[in-house]
């Protein structure tokens, strides 16, 4: 069995149910990771944004190429320190970046009614 020469990967940048501050951070982090992917020669096949595009809950990229080598350093937890809420309010939030094999593309079927 030969290895797939152009594997597909899902890269997810997410803040879960985080507040607006960390969601804006997810948008910026997703931009930076997408630029790193393109610079590394990966092909961006699809982008899915969950929520407001300027403050998404998560961004999922479908990539083709050697994503683990190119983007492995981006995977993990990223810390945002933001003190906009005042001196006694929470200032630290976290966003995660994960990479996994993409599911195979689904085939569209047309179902004819039975007679």
| pLDDT tens string 39-82 | 999 999 999 999 999 999 999 999 999 999 999 999 999 999 87
Position 105 confidence tier, pLDDT thresholds 50, 70, 90 = confident
Q: Residue 70 domain-assigned?
A: yes
What b/e readout covers 90-112, taking b as 16+ CB neighbours within 10 angstroms? eeebebbbebeebeeeeeeeeee
Alpha-helix runs per DSSP H in the chain: 20-39, 67-71
Number of domains observed in the structure of the chain: 1
pLDDT at 69: 95
| Residue 54 belongs to some domain of the structure | yes
> Quick one: pLDDT at residue 110?
65
Give me the domain span that covers residue 16: 8-101
* 15 part of a folded domain: yes
pLDDT for the residue 100: 96
| Residue 84 domain-assigned (yes or no) | yes
Q: What is the CATH number of the domain that holds 28?
A: 3.30.70.1660
Contact between residue 11 and residue 67 where contact means Cβ atoms under 8 Å apart: yes
Is 16 inside a domain boundary? Answer: yes
Q: Is residue 115 part of a domain?
A: no
Q: Is residue 112 part of a domain?
A: no
């Amino acid at each position: 069995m030969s290895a797939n020469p152009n594997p597909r990967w899902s890269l997810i940048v997410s803040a879960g149910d985080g507040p607006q501050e960390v969601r804006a951070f997810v948008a910026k982090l997703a931009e930076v990771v997408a630029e790193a992917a393109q610079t590394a020669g990966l092909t961006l096949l699809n982008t899915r944004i969950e929520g407001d595009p300027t403050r998404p809950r998560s961004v999922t990229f479908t990539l083709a190429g050697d994503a683990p080598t190119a983007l492995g350093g981006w995977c993990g937890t990223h810390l945002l320190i933001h003190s906009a809420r005042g001196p006694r309010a929470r200032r630290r939030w976290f966003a995660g970046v994960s990479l996994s094999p993409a599911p195979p593309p689904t085939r569209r079927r047309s179902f004819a009614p039975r007679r």
